[in-house]
Amino acid sequence: MTEQQWLKMYRETVHPLYGYMARRTRGNRELTEDIVQESYLRALDDWNRKSVPDSPLAWLKRVARNILIDYLRQKRWVNKENLDLIPDSGNQTSKDQFESLEIFLAISALGRKKARILEAFYYDGMSIREIAKEMAISERAVEGQLRRARQSLKSLLPDSRPNGGKNE
Amino acid sequence: MNEIYEPDNQFLERLEWQLSSEYRRASRLKPSSRKIAIPRRIVAAACMVGILMTGVAVIKAADYIQDSWRKKIEIARAETEIKLRKAHLESARELESRAEMRFSNGLIREEEFRMIQIAVKRAELDLKKSLLNLDEVKVSGEVPRNELYAPLVGGRDFVSERLKIEIEMIELDSEQFESRVKRYKQLVEKGLARGDELSQIQAEIASRKVMIDKIQERLDLRKRFVDGEVTAQEVEIRDRMTVAERNLNLAQSKVDSLKERLKRLKSLESERMINPMEIKQMQYALDAAQAELELAALEMDVLKKLK
């Protein structure tokens, strides 16, 4: 991989990757930038040692997601009661962000299939039809899986959450 | 699209610059990363070459170890032989010193003392030959070679050196026979021994002279090979011819000697002085010697055609 190929790949993937991560951090700019930056640095190291994957964006998304989950898990247990752990961003309060990130962490704790369908619907803004097409299943099946995933998520979220789960 | 989900330009520019710098740094620190650009076919070929080279290296190492062990074994064998030769020489010398006293006291004949002296010389030559073999093994790591077309070892012509020792050995044999001739002549003169016995010893001496001549021819041939005048193949044929010729001469000499003895026995038989069985035995011996002669002649013919 030459420097030109590397930068071309970066320019092609940075916008979708940033959007993917920003939706999961509920627009927390600083956290999103850190994770995007770290994802590219890991990509450079990994791809130089091995080879460029078939789908660089998919690889980057997977790594970015894992970085976010690791980050949240660590912060959650170290600063459980500190609502300022996530810096302020845009028009959202730290409290809202924490709640959203708590939900994201709970989603990531679900099974892979449930997490995928919930993230696609709630974070990536995909319609039932789009998800059905991507997962190669019927729309009814998507609705059923989405319903079951929501129930699973609900059981994971504690009532002690800042808003008691009312926004869900 | 909500702009909070879009990166700002400042971040994009900063990240691009950082990734570009990181790329160059990684390239400097990890030149091996270039291998990504190498076509897989070339990488596969290089791997194959690597595997083959490793295989060859392993085989070479195994050969080296094997050769090293072989060399150690051959050296040990040569050293053991030298120890035995030295012990034999010491014993011969001891015997010689005792025999010298007995000879000066008139307890043994001169011929007997002479025989012991020759035995000492033979032991010395045996030791000399063993030391020569050890020198060769130490350089070549292999069993000493005696073919006339064998290469020089460490620039030294061990083949010629061994042939010269062989000549010295045969000369000792001749010396031994000559001392017996001297004694037999006296015995024949006194009527205590038969003339045919004397002629048999003289035939042995003649055959030793032939052997020395043939070895000398081999030495000349060896020299011509070392000087590059003849090829290994020519040397092999000529050497075989020399050996065949020697065998032919020896067989001829044996036949002549046996014929002479048979003639004498027959004359004695007419005078009824011997057992007829002795004539039969002599006839058998003559037939065998003639068969050997024919075989040697046949071999000579074959080699001449090859030449």
DSSP run (H or E) holding B286: helix B276-306
User: Does A52 reside within a domain?
Assistant: yes
Task: State pTM to two decimals.
Answer: 0.45
Identify whether residues A128 and A46 lie together within a single domain: no
CA distance B4 to chain A (A): 5
Which range has the top average pLDDT, A67-76, B61-70, B254-263? B254-263
Identify whether residues A125 and A91 lie together within a single domain: no
Q: Please, are residues B238 and B230 in contact by the beta-carbon 8 Å criterion?
A: yes
CATH code assigned at A124 = 1.10.10.10
Percent of chain B at pLDDT > 90 equals 24
- Interchain contact, A49 vs B33, CB within 8 Å: yes
Identify whether residues A57 and A15 lie together within a single domain: yes
- Interchain contact, B19 vs A7, CB within 8 Å: yes
Identify whether residues A132 and A91 lie together within a single domain: no
B133-189 pLDDT per residue, tens? 999 988 888 888 888 888 898 889 999 999 999 999 999 888 888 888 887 787 777
B189-198 pLDDT per residue, tens? 777 777 777 8
> Vertex A41, ends A39 and A47: CA angle to 5°?
95
Identify whether residues A9 and A91 lie together within a single domain: yes
Q: List, as ranges, residues 34-63 from B with C-beta within 8 Å of A.
A: 36-37
Residue A89 confidence (pLDDT): 46
- Interchain contact, B19 vs A29, CB within 8 Å: no
Cα first-last separation, chain B: 102
B5, B11, B27: residue with CB nearest A19: B5
Identify whether residues A89 and A114 lie together within a single domain: no
- Interchain contact, A36 vs B15, CB within 8 Å: yes
Identify whether residues A143 and A85 lie together within a single domain: no
Which residue is it, tokens 């010689």?
B96
User: Does A16 reside within a domain?
Assistant: yes
**HEC sequence for B13-74:** HHHHHHHHHHHHHHHHHCHHHHHHHCCHHHHHHHHHHHHHHHHHHHHHHHHHHHHHHHHHHH
Sign of the torsion angle spanned by Cα atoms B152, B156, B158, B160: positive
Question: Considering its fold, how many domains does chain A have in total?
Answer: 2
Q: Which of A70, A95, A120 is the last residue of a domain?
A: A95
- Interchain contact, A7 vs B18, CB within 8 Å: no
User: Does B123 reside within a domain?
Assistant: yes
Residue B285 has pLDDT above 50, yes or no: yes
Single-letter code of the amino acid located at B249: N
User: Does B105 reside within a domain?
Assistant: yes
Per DSSP, the residues of A73-103 read HHHHHHSTT-GGGSPPBTTB-HHHHHHHHHH
Q: How far apart are CA B70 and CA B75, in angstroms?
A: 8
What tokens appear for B185 in the block?
A: 């002549």
Average the pLDDT over each of A6-10, A72-76, B46-50, B280-284 and give the range with the smallest value.
A72-76
Question: Considering its fold, how many domains does chain B have in total?
Answer: 1
Domain that holds residue B66: 62-143
Among B12, B18, B19, B20, the strongest candidate for a mutation testing the A interface, having the largest count of A CBs within 10 A, is B19
Average pLDDT of the residues in B251-263: 87
Domain that holds residue A121: 110-161
Chain A residues whose beta carbon lies within 8 Å of the beta carbon of residue B20: 3, 6-7
User: Does A150 reside within a domain?
Assistant: yes
Q: How confident is the model at residue A94 (pLDDT cuts 50, 70, 90)?
A: low
Is A167 strand, coil or helix?
coil
User: Does B128 reside within a domain?
Assistant: yes
Interface contact B9, partner A, CB < 8 A: no
- Interchain contact, A37 vs B15, CB within 8 Å: yes
CA distance B157 to chain A (A): 60
Q: How far apart are CA B224 and CA B265, in angstroms?
A: 48
